[in-house]
Structure 1
Amino acid sequence: MNLRTLYKHYLSELTSIYPDSEAKTLVMWIFEAHLSVSRKDILNNSPIGIIPESLEKAFTRLIAGEPIQYVLGEAPFYGRFFHVAPGVLIPRNETEELVQLIVQKHKGKVKILDLGTGSGCIAITLALECAKAEVTAIDISDDALAIAKHNAETLNAKLNFVKKDILQADLQLGTFDLMVSNPPYVLERERSLMQKNVLEHEPQLALFVPDSDPLRFYKAIAKHARENLKSNGYLYFEINEAFGVEVVEQMKLEGFSDIQIYQDINGKDRIVYGKKTELDKSTKPE
């Protein structure tokens, strides 16, 4: 058998469940990972001997709808590869923009808290890109923390990981210069708009919030920021594009100023950030 024949076979199978362009990309990814070949090798119609069992297993998982990042066990993020598994969300491009904004605006020695770290992609990237930063990352999931710790070790990043529930009243972690979170923000009613491979494989706990309380995590984190950010410290959120104004209002209630809504590369409201200012104690919200 030759590579072109095998490529066409896999492609014909995948185009039954994926758009043609996406199917081509997926086939190339598993070829590169399991055969160490490039598109040039396919164009040259290079021969292939025994098809590796690992390739067949990977293809079977793709046909079943499992995301390619879980199949390969890694996902790219901000120029690095992070180990991912069904216990954590797959890092998205929009979150890279969140990290980029922080890296650009905050230099020097800064103490950072990442709330709901998942794979650790935000916290680890900030620890590596901001050499003088002291980073702490929290998550409620043991699986997520294990994966994040593995990524930190693999990428030689030094930071602290702590098991905490964002929704608890007091995090008891001290004070910080900057807090950042990409919390669950997909509404339950938006399930029908999401791809099947996301719904069936990525952790629901990290994705969805009730339609009746879409700002559940933003409210809790803004209160933590009010208590745990130093004066003039910053809070950064990744948001559901439909709730930018509401997140801004919630931050105002907790004493933040200079609040900005930042649009992603696709022109959608995606990031909200602002600076903590001291409120008069008589007007400070409870």
Structure 2
Amino acid sequence: MNIREYRSFFLEKLSAVYDAAEAESLFYICLENLKRWKKIDLAMNSNAELTRIELIKWNEVLTELEEQRPIQYIFENAHFYGLEFFVNESTLIPRPETEELVEWIINENKNKKDIKILDIGTGSGCIAITLAKNLPNAKVFAIDVSKDALATAKRNAIRNTADVTFIEKDILTTESLPESFDVIVSNPPYVRNLEKHEIKKNVLAFEPHLALFVDDNDPLLFYRKIAQLAKASLPKEGKLYFEINQYLGPETVTMLEENFYDDVVLKKDIYDNDRMVAATIK
């Protein structure tokens, strides 16, 4: 079978699970990872025959995609803010919405010198590492409760030559942060169990629930705890940034104001959902 014929076969097999555009995108990701080809290579070599070993590899990946396993986990690779990250089932897959949060932090802090930043619940390390790469005057720290996630984050720091200090810590049982910070950021678990029906299978079945879900009865549990810890750690004019549940924007703003934060700003993401908040210590 040549590569052009296999492409038709691949798209047909995935048509029951993905829409046409997504299936096409998945094919080209596979093409790049399995053959190291770009679109132009396919156009110029569409009659190239796949070897028996290549067919086996392509079919293995196709089977995993039919089961809706995320392609980032299949190839253990994800792109975030121009960097590449190793990912596995111990970490969430970095998302475009989180890139917007990171860009907000970079834009507001790029002219500051000698600042200290803490990322709480770092996962793959994408936030901490990207900030370290883009804010060279910053000293960046990152916390996570998961040993496996921290191992992944450390691997990504080496991969991207980023200087980040990683700390294993359960933020919910933490009484105080290890030192003062100028910026604290967190993308904590925020999906309520009642929202599980909205989650696609490729997320629900494969991504770590520890990093995703929070109890319906106290959905701001992590936000409230982090806000309280940050209040004692941030200096005057220090900033706290959160990625948030799109349905709980006003509630998150109110919680921060009740904890004596000022200049609370709620921002929407590219999909027009309430997605991030920043607040200042006065």
TM-score normalised by the chain length of structure 1 = 0.94
Partner of residue 267, structure 2: 262
Residue aligned with 1:230, SS? coil
How far the C-alpha of 1:92 sits from its partner, in A, is 0.5
Partner of residue 233, structure 2: 228
Partner of residue 17, structure 2: 17
How far the C-alpha of 1:26 sits from its partner, in A, is 0.6
Read off the aligned partner of 2:261 and give its amino acid letter: F
Q: Distance in 2 between matches of 1:239 and 1:265?
A: 14
Confirm or deny: 8 A CA contact 1:103 1:126 kept in the other structure. yes
Answering whether residue 100 of structure 2 is matched by residue 61 of structure 1, we say: no
Partner of residue 70, structure 1: 73
Gaps of 5+ in 1: 278-286
Partner of residue 5, structure 2: 5
Q: Distance in 2 between matches of 1:37 and 1:181?
A: 37
Partner of residue 139, structure 1: 144
How far the C-alpha of 1:203 sits from its partner, in A, is 0.2
Q: Distance in 1 between matches of 2:58 and 2:8?
A: 15
Runs of 4+ in 1 over 6 A off after TM superposition: none
Q: How does 1:151-230 map to 2 (within 5 A)?
A: 151-230=156-235
Answering whether residue 102 of structure 2 is matched by residue 105 of structure 1, we say: no
Q: Distance in 1 between matches of 2:178 and 2:58?
A: 45
Read off the aligned partner of 2:47 and give its amino acid letter: S
How far the C-alpha of 1:265 sits from its partner, in A, is 1.7
Gaps of 5+ in 2: none
**CA distances 1:219-255 after superposition (whole Å, capped 9, x unpaired):** 1110011111112210000011111111111111222
Q: Distance in 2 between matches of 1:132 and 1:172?
A: 21
Residue correspondences, number: 277
How far the C-alpha of 1:211 sits from its partner, in A, is 1.1
How far the C-alpha of 1:217 sits from its partner, in A, is 0.6
Q: Percent of aligned positions with the same letter in both sequences? A: 43
Read off the aligned partner of 2:42 and give its amino acid letter: I
Q: Distance in 1 between matches of 2:219 and 2:150?
A: 25
How far the C-alpha of 1:171 sits from its partner, in A, is 3.9
**CA distances 1:139-181 after superposition (whole Å, capped 9, x unpaired):** 0001100000000001000010000111114144111001000
How far the C-alpha of 1:119 sits from its partner, in A, is 0.3
Q: Distance in 2 between matches of 1:208 and 1:226?
A: 25
Read off the aligned partner of 1:96 and give its amino acid letter: E
Read off the aligned partner of 1:81 and give its amino acid letter: E
Confirm or deny: 8 A CA contact 1:69 1:90 kept in the other structure. yes
Q: Distance in 1 between matches of 2:184 and 2:41?
A: 47
